[in-house]
Structure 1
Amino acid sequence: MLMRNTLVAARHRGVIFGTALTALTALWIAVAGPASALGVPDRPQSSVAFNAEVRAVAYHQDVIFVGGRFTAARDGQTTPQRSRLAAVSASDGALLDWAPRTDGAVQAIAVAGDSVYLGGDFGRVNGERREGLAKVHAETGELDEDFAPAVGGRVLALEAAHDRLYVAGSLYEIDGAKRGSAGAVALDTGALDEDWRPDIEGSVRTIAADSSRVYLGGSFSELNGSEKHGKLAAVDPATGGTDTSFAPKVWIMVRDLAVTSGQVYGALGGEGGRLASYGSDGTEQWAVTADGDFQAVTVLGETIYAGGHFTEVCNTARTGPNGDCVDGSEPRGRLAAVDASGRLLAWAPQADSAIGVLAMASNPDLRAVAVGGTFTTFGSGRIDQPYFAHFR
């Protein structure tokens, strides 16, 4: 039983799947009507909010771990201090007592067992020196004194899988050992994994793993000496060697990934933005375009949820030179949902802000979606819910 001051956490990454539509064919989007197909309502649950942007969210059972740039929460009429980390009850949206502190932004959270892993732009956690990477206890928020790898560069993404913590971003070394934008450490001690060392030219913004691969997405131009695997690629979970059987043709930045059952789903930038589905060999199966970048993606059941800084989702795959929809569009302020074939659904929370949604996660047991970003309202300005929202 989870109490206000007792948490047991593990990360849940959203997973999604798709069916084939060629990327060369214009994708006409039909709006689906039945609310039962949408999974969650488009009005956020009444919940705690924050005083600055949320950049990471992660579920376990009925707890949501939240990280970002905020320094305080807003829970009813009170504004308790929360130094870039917090935990929220997914049941009723209340702020929980868990309150570790960092001195800089938290960019990524991963959870395994009773450990919460933090990545970001900080130099101290709970007053102790930690260079961009740390582990705290899921119940108490206490810093793990033995887990202290030093990271050179920025940590932007974490993934706990294959008995490792995969770490990526614009980093160049871990514990003094050269690493090309990504590396791995032991989950328990933080010791550097000497074997997993992909050589990457450019920044990695997202990591996702399945049972046989680790997927990397970002703005990188080269992987392990080859330019054929830029922006989106798969590597071996043990060595970081390129999995050449996955060969998508992606030329724009990949900002977020979700994977399941051999399917890969990417939130992409570009002229406007793209939400794309890729098969196990990397073939693009369908793509949805918008008038701004897609920046986050997750899934609940058969519904794919995506966020970004777009205001419209295009009726076809065509966009103009400034990212505008050429063949008409449907209003979708910073959040949208599609079905497994890429068909736009009626879900439309209508969030505000120029930068929009930066992080999403889902919980299938609760049938819930958590969202973080720079937004402050939903319902076209009618619902006040700054920086964090929970749809259930």
Structure 2
Amino acid sequence: MADSDEKTLTADPLATWQTDGIVWSIEYARGVVYVGGTFNKVRPPGAKPGQREVARKNFAAFDAVTGKLLSCAHRFTGAGNTVRALKATADGKMLYVGGSFANAGKARAANAVALNTAGCSLRKDFRPKISSAVRAIDVTKSAVYLGGDFTAVNGRERERIAAFTRRGALLPFKAEIEAPVRAISAAPEYGKIIVGGDFQLVNEDLEASLVALHPRTGKTVAQYTDWLPARSVVKALVRDKTKFYVAAEGNGTGIFDGRIAASLRTGKLVWRDTCLGATQALALHNGVLYSGSHAHNCRDTPGGFPEHQNRQHFLAQSTRNRHILHWFPDTNEGIGEQNGPRAMAMAGGILWAGGEFTTVNNRPQQSLTRFGAGPDRGLRRTRPSSRPRSRAPVG
């Protein structure tokens, strides 16, 4: 197979609803796409801000195929008024919701709850009291792992990560992490819970933003200390059957902004790209790693492009060898911290992406978009280096 033979999705977006704020998380379960973020209303495809808006407070649900807005509409309010993390069980029957909120509808909550996806009802048994924001969730057959800014759960010490039964009982799993956890990827069949974030110390050892913990105890089982410089943090993790993939964001000179692939079994590096432009989100589909970033220099990555002033916010790479594939839809940087895409998830054969952007392929589209299998009209497959320059790059 040639370096770039993997087939990508179309670069032409499908009609998608929009929000009036930022989308931080997307999850798919049983034909429904759930979206969490910091927003008050949603509006149909093509509608301008203020037109045909429907109330949705930081949480919305859509038909995964048609994109239609669904009635599942719990309001997440209070505290930071934000949903940061969504994760469904493998069977799709339960959806875990984390963030910074004090209420889930009329019920009191403390930054984490669970829903039954059938009927969109709040579960009464999963109501942990988390002392601060939840930023990451992953689920196994026997446990739910939450990561974030918190230092206490149900009045007990839990530093930035905790584990529960699916019905909300706190488990003995415990690790000491000195700064926020932003991503969790569970691999219990390999005896690992892979954790990424802002931290430098885990269980009193230097870990440089990435570590693997024992699924039951929280003790360190694998270290990756030479993969990331001190000024880079891990923003997202995804995995397939044999590898896990890391998204990094750096600040300053000598940082790492790109993506890493590594073996789940051995923990050894498979590949590491060299793109500059902080990576915020990842999704996997048919041997392709899709990412959201603001890449502006991929000169030394196969299939990449040289330094340019017009940032590229979506990329696709071969999971085999990091080769950048010919798929270049784009967004602007949008509102908030102006990073463009913030979240990605596959829903069947459709890639959903959310974030801070207000345009997609130079057309108005706020915070949500999606890409399918085709037909591909080729509207946005131009390699970034051939586009007009618009602004100076930032790492």
- CA RMSD after TM alignment: 2.4
Q: Paired residue for 1:334, among 294, 306, 313? A: 313
- Once the two structures are TM-superposed, the CA of residue 260 in structure 1 deviates from its matched residue by 2.5
- Once the two structures are TM-superposed, the CA of residue 288 in structure 1 deviates from its matched residue by 2.2
Structure 1 residues 50, 178: CA separation in 2 closer, same or farther (over 3 Å shift)?
same
Is residue 34 of structure 2 the alignment partner of residue 65 of structure 1? yes
Cα-to-partner distance string for 1:312-357 (whole Å, 9 max, x where unaligned)? 241116xxxxxxx995469662110111211111111111113111
Aligned to 1:74: 43
Q: Paired residue for 1:107, among 77, 84, 89? A: 84
- Once the two structures are TM-superposed, the CA of residue 192 in structure 1 deviates from its matched residue by 0.9
Structure 1 residues 136, 61: CA separation in 2 closer, same or farther (over 3 Å shift)?
closer
Q: Matched residues in 2 for 1:98 and 1:263: separation? A: 34
Aligned to 2:108: 129
Is residue 145 of structure 2 the alignment partner of residue 176 of structure 1? no
Residue 198 of structure 2 aligns with an amino acid whose one-letter code is: S
Q: Paired residue for 2:299, among 299, 315, 336? A: 315
Q: Matched residues in 1 for 2:123 and 2:241: separation? A: 34
Q: Matched residues in 2 for 1:330 and 1:289: separation? A: 17
Aligned to 1:237: 215
Secondary structure of the equivalent of 1:201? coil
CA contact (8 A) 1:123 1:131 kept: yes
Q: Matched residues in 2 for 1:96 and 1:368: separation? A: 18
Aligned to 1:117: 96
Aligned to 1:321: none
Is residue 365 of structure 2 the alignment partner of residue 385 of structure 1? yes
Normalising by structure 2, report the TM-score: 0.82
Deviates more, 1:120-129 or 1:289-298: 289-298
Aligned to 2:280: 295
Q: Matched residues in 2 for 1:334 and 1:38: separation? A: 19
How many residues in Structure 1 have an aligned counterpart in Structure 2?
Answer: 346
Secondary structure of the equivalent of 2:280? strand
Q: Paired residue for 1:91, among 54, 58, 65? A: 65
Q: Paired residue for 1:205, among 166, 173, 182? A: 182
Higher RCO, 1 vs 2 (CA within 8 Å, ≥6 residues apart): 1
Structure 1 residues 230, 203: CA separation in 2 closer, same or farther (over 3 Å shift)?
same
Cα-to-partner distance string for 1:56-77 (whole Å, 9 max, x where unaligned)? 0011243111100111111256
CA contact (8 A) 2:345 2:351 kept: yes
- Once the two structures are TM-superposed, the CA of residue 311 in structure 1 deviates from its matched residue by 4.2
Structure 1 residues 263, 330: CA separation in 2 closer, same or farther (over 3 Å shift)?
farther
CA contact (8 A) 1:313 1:330 kept: no
- Once the two structures are TM-superposed, the CA of residue 272 in structure 1 deviates from its matched residue by 6.3
Q: Matched residues in 1 for 2:20 and 2:298: separation? A: 32
- Once the two structures are TM-superposed, the CA of residue 40 in structure 1 deviates from its matched residue by 1.1
- Once the two structures are TM-superposed, the CA of residue 273 in structure 1 deviates from its matched residue by 1.4
Cα-to-partner distance string for 1:241-294 (whole Å, 9 max, x where unaligned)? 111376663222011011223422111012461111123433333222333200
CA contact (8 A) 1:90 1:390 kept: no
Q: Paired residue for 2:235, among 236, 239, 255? A: 255
Q: Matched residues in 2 for 1:245 and 1:85: separation? A: 36
Q: Matched residues in 1 for 2:54 and 2:156: separation? A: 40
Q: Percent identity?
A: 25
Normalising by structure 1, report the TM-score: 0.82
Q: Paired residue for 1:305, among 290, 304, 322? A: 290
- Once the two structures are TM-superposed, the CA of residue 137 in structure 1 deviates from its matched residue by 2.4
Is residue 179 of structure 2 the alignment partner of residue 214 of structure 1? no
Residue 359 of structure 1 aligns with an amino acid whose one-letter code is: A
Q: Paired residue for 1:160, among 133, 139, 164? A: 139
Residue 361 of structure 1 aligns with an amino acid whose one-letter code is: A
Residue 208 of structure 2 aligns with an amino acid whose one-letter code is: G
Aligned to 1:40: 9
- Once the two structures are TM-superposed, the CA of residue 149 in structure 1 deviates from its matched residue by 0.9
- Once the two structures are TM-superposed, the CA of residue 93 in structure 1 deviates from its matched residue by 1.2
Q: Which runs of 5+ in 2 are unaligned?
A: 373-395
Q: Matched residues in 2 for 1:48 and 1:306: separation? A: 21
